[in-house]
Amino acid sequence: MNVKLENRVQHYRTVWMEGDVVRMIDQPKIPHSFEILELHDYKETGMAIRNMNIRGAGAIGATAGYAMAQAVLHAPKDDYGKLVGYVEEAAGYIRSMRPTAQNLFYAVDKVLDAVYGADNPEAAVISAIKTAQGIADEDADSCKRIGEHGEKLIKDGYRILTHCNAGWLAFVDYGSALSPIYVADEKGKKVFVYADETRPRLQGARLTAWELGQQGIEHKIIADNVSGWIMQLGMVDMVIVGSDRIAANGDVANKIGTYEKAVLAKENRIPFYVAAPTSTIDLDSKSGKDIPIEERDEDEVLYVRGYCNSTGKMEKVRVSPKDSHALNLAFDVTPAKYIKGIITEKGIIKPNKKSIAKLFK
């Protein structure tokens, strides 16, 4: 998407690779500064996933694909067997970076299959780079299509609630939940967005608000506990969220707090949609119970990070008693019964086993 910098507008993807260097927009710096991070090997790129310099299912997937390509580029080239051993070790490392986003595993497996399909080191390098690039391009293309399908659900004047950030920063380009909103805006529909702030890492208050501002979409950030009340007051026409992993039965894992928005939406008869590319669907997870839920460092809850006007720097401030501990679960699962539809690049489907299986035929 286009980013408005001080005196110019430039198109950026969230993550890309040049030679053997992976470059990405450094997300913890947004909205206070716009910086590009450079990662020189698969270990550095993997740590950027773990530390959430890049986050969001599609962006994590593309980054994992590039990290695998870096591993293949740096693997020993004198013997194909040695190369495969090196790349398999890298695959294990990259897989261990974050557990919930299906796109990470999708990308690692795709590049690994490309390496297995080659029979010599040179062919493995060419195939791995092509596959990693293909994963990133496919992600951007799928999100563009999600926008075109999802836009049809949005009526002029709609007030839409979203949770976390499932915009272009969470993918290679366009986004999932925000993509239909961007297309609706392009088509001249008036859209207003309520962005849940999304404690503890505030992806809504920082990233979604920044993206919407860049796109010129009217919005307000709301504290996470406001949504139920504004739904009851009739101030929300529709909810669209993204997903990190969708089970074969239509249960959806997404940022912690999504489940309660879905229950509240149903209670208030507001349509609740999930937008995600098919690379987020995991047929091996029969239901949401099979989806691993990430638990992150308690400090993310015990402290808040933000830009300090007086020092001009990002600062970390403790908000809770010194001796208190926190439970920091990063995702939850919304049962399929709360979801009106899943917006994919192949169309809008019902969240059930039959419709999901059909996507892969």
Task: Tell me which residues touch ligand MRU (CB under 6 A).
Answer: 55-58, 164-166, 170, 176, 203, 241-244, 254-255, 330
Active-site residue 251, yes or no? no
Which residue number, 128 or 164, has a Cβ lying nearer to ligand MRU? 164
Q: How far is the CB of 256 from ligand MRU (least distance, A)?
A: 8
Tokens 């994590």 — which residue?
Answer: 60
Minimal distance in Å, beta carbon 73 to ligand MRU? 26
Nearer to ligand MRU, 121 or 277 (CB): 277
Q: Which is nearer to ligand MRU, 31 or 123 (CB)?
A: 31
Q: Out of 244, 251, 282, 332, which one is annotated catalytic?
A: 244
Which of residues 27 and 127 has its CB atom nearest to ligand MRU in the complex? 27
CB of residue 116 to ligand MRU, shortest distance in Å:
28
Residue 280 C-beta: closest distance to ligand MRU, Å: 8
CB 336 within 8 A of CB 350: no
Minimum distance between the CB of residue 140 and ligand MRU, rounded to whole angstroms? 13
**Pair 271, 340: CB distance under 8 Å:** yes
The residue length of the chain stands at 361
- Select 125 or 253, whichever has its Cβ closest to ligand MRU: 253
Query: Residue number with the shortest CB distance to ligand MRU?
Result: 242
Least distance in Å: CB of 166 to ligand MRU?
3
**Considering beta carbons, is residue 165 or 215 the nearer one to ligand MRU?**
165
Partners of 252 in the β-ladder: 246, 334
The CA distance from 149 to 4, in Å, is: 27
140 token code pair: 């951007």
Q: Which is nearer to ligand MRU, 127 or 279 (CB)?
A: 279
8 Å CB contact between 339 and 275: no
**Residues that are catalytic:** 244
